[in-house]
Structure 1
Amino acid sequence: MLALYTLKVLIIYMESGGDMLDLYTLKVLIIYMESGGDMLALYTLKVLIINMESGGDMLALYTLKVLIIYMESGGDMLAVYTLKVLIIYMESGGDMLALYTLKILIIYMESGGDILTLYTLKVLIIYMESGGDMLTLYTLKFLIIYMESGGDMLALYTLKVLII
């Protein structure tokens, strides 16, 4: 079947006046067939198509890297979350929150699922949504102290006082 796909791709390549997408498509199809039908190649093909249709949107390139990492890691969920964050980042026009979110998710996964990073993520979201209110930065520091102290109640009271 590879020869048939290759033939179709070459025909498309010639008819399109030499669009580079078809060369990439050809490589992906070859990889797909040689790998015995690895799904990554199909996803890669979709990403390349999106990249070309969007006029070269960088999201597709990042998406491709994430999918490769996802497959190489044996299906690590971090890659899926990373992909969602990158999509949000691009859709928001480049909101920095997505980059911070990405870093936090990486830390969360590397720490074995420490709850602090989930709270940190919520605080960063509040910080960005509030237009950069300094209270959330202090809140973040106190949450870190609270978790590092093993749950000292003083940090919670301090947090309530700061909010008041």
Structure 2
Amino acid sequence: MLDCILQIGIFCLPRAAVIPLHNHPGMTVFSKLLFGSMHIRSFDWVDSSEQIRSSNGACLAKLNTDSVMNAPCETSILYPAAGGNMHCFTAVTPCAVLDVLGPPYDGPEGRDCKYYTEASCSSFPGDATASAAPGDNDRYAWLEEMQGKPDDFNVRGEEYKGPKIVGY
């Protein structure tokens, strides 16, 4: 039997619903807005090899995307270290987004979903942003990892029970 190599999700969101700021560690994600409008705000770590940390432990990230997408539109691709791997979605209108993730989330393999809170660079005066983000602080933010997921965020998953998918 093959191990699961992909994870597929369809997120149906009513107007103003939010998928909070989260990551996809070591994963590539294909996202397709199926219908409606969605605001996307995404980040990548400034230095993925050695994260730049603030005095309170938050890590410096650079803004990748801050815009509204309207269906129909191109498929977005998030790579493990680029393309907006940490992102949040806010439904501008009722909408649905299809995500295909590979490899899937797997805590023991180091691919556990983490959620973040965002603070502006000016929130931590005297920290190391002057050299990392000279004169461009609005394109950078401190992301602080939350413990667990936000209390008001729930995702209901179901196992695929359709016809067996076989390789070629």
TM-score (structure 2 length as normaliser): 0.19
Name the structure, 1 or 2, with higher relative contact order (CA <8 Å, separation 6+). Answer: 2
TM-score (structure 1 length as normaliser): 0.19
Higher-strand-fraction structure:
2
